[in-house]
Amino acid sequence: MLVPRYNRYSLPSRQILPEAKYHTRRTFLSQIGLATAALLTGCDSNNTAQAAGSKTVSGFDLPPRPSDKFYPAKANPAFTSASVAPRAITKKELAGHYNNFYEFSTAKEEVDRLSAALTITPWTVDIAGLVEKPFQIGFEDLIAKFPLEERVYRMRCVEAWSMVVPWSGFPLKALIDFCKPLSSATHVRFLSFNRPEEAPGMRGGDYPFPYYEGLRLDEARNELAFVVTGAYGKPMPKQHGAPLRIAMPWKYGYKGAKSVVKVEFINHEPKTLWNDLAPEEYGFYSNVDPERPHPRWSQQFERDINTGDQVETLKYNGYGKYVAALYPNPVF
């Protein structure tokens, strides 16, 4: 997303171009061809070689893992496609080709290709901070502890576009219980991977990576809070945050950290990357609220990337019956 020019982490100039110009640049890149585009974006030689060949490298290409057998997961009847009507599920190819994952690129259409370089086997998650006993667990061991379910959720980015995705995973509450936090823990913090050698966007120094996010513990225990390991009935593509990411469907998308390597329990409100960059634009809570404009744009409507239609933004992204009680007082 965009940050103001005056900020010390301000984006490269192309990011503050208006949408139309920005899309022209994307079209240009696709016209000159993938191989050249890969060179321009400084992606590693291995990737470039593959991109130049006939097979397109994509985050949809995943290594086989034992956990593949858990998909497709059983649909949770409370969150089927009926629960998001009149919205329809976003086409998988659209959702997987328009991604915010700044460790790879600030250009959404590039993330699918660049994220292919992320190694997801092995993958270790660190459980740290105020827990009975800190531990590390491999992704394959972790996922085997929880029955997977499928949930169709709306996803609203703070940039005023949205999609609808059938995620697979398990409740964040189940993960939290498994971590055995101490009663002194009030918040949970998520950290994403730190591998600049695999992620070109981490090499520029424009953002204080690794990506960090956090939640109040009661929000994290809400029934909607979800650990996502799959999408569209399959293991999750890398561009969506393989092997595991968080989904908080009543909040703007950036509250859901991708490719998580650390879950830390603490006793204070954690700092978050976007809040540190532009506190007046990205609050800690960041609940979807059409009545609270972003300082630089309205939040009353959003573009459904499936249809291109402008649709009305709903308070709490339509999930108020689940979460409104968490916020007796206004929060930002």
Ligand X SMILES: Nc1nc2c(c(=O)[nH]1)N[C@H]1C(S)=C(S)[C@@H](COP(=O)(O)O)O[C@H]1N2
Q: Identify what 211 binds: ligand X, Mo ion, none; CB under 5 to 8 Å per kind.
A: ligand X
Instruction: Answer for the pair 99, 239: CB distance below 8 angstroms, yes or no.
Output: yes
Among 73, 130, 157, 263, contact with ligand X (rule: CB under 6 A):
157
Candidates 226, 119, 109; CA nearest to 166 is 226
Shortest spacing between CB 156 and ligand X, in angstroms: 8
Does 257 engage in binding with ligand X (CB under 6 A)?
Answer: yes
Q: How many residues bind ligand X (CB under 6 A)?
A: 17
Of 96-104, 113-121, 263-271, 314-322, which part binds ligand X (CB under 6 A)? 96-104
Shortest spacing between CB 255 and Mo ion, in angstroms: 9
Quick one: which H or E segment has residue 23? helix 19-32
Which bin fits 275, alpha (ψ -120 to 50), beta or left (φ > 0)?
alpha
Nearer to ligand X among residue 181 and residue 256 (C-beta): 256
Beta bridge partners of 151: 167
The DSSP code sequence of 98-160 is S--BTTTBSSGGGHHHHGGG---SS-EEEEEESBSS-EEEEHHHHHTTS--EEEEEEEE-TTS
Among 1, 43, 242, 261, contact with ligand X (rule: CB under 6 A):
1
Q: Identify what 192 binds: ligand X, Mo ion, none; CB under 5 to 8 Å per kind.
A: ligand X
Torsion of CA 256, 101, 290, 295, to 10 degrees: 120
Among 169, 181, 249, 256, contact with ligand X (rule: CB under 6 A):
256
Q: Kindly list the residues in this chain that would bind ligand X in the complex (CB under 6 A).
A: 1, 99-103, 155, 157, 192, 211, 240, 253-254, 256-259
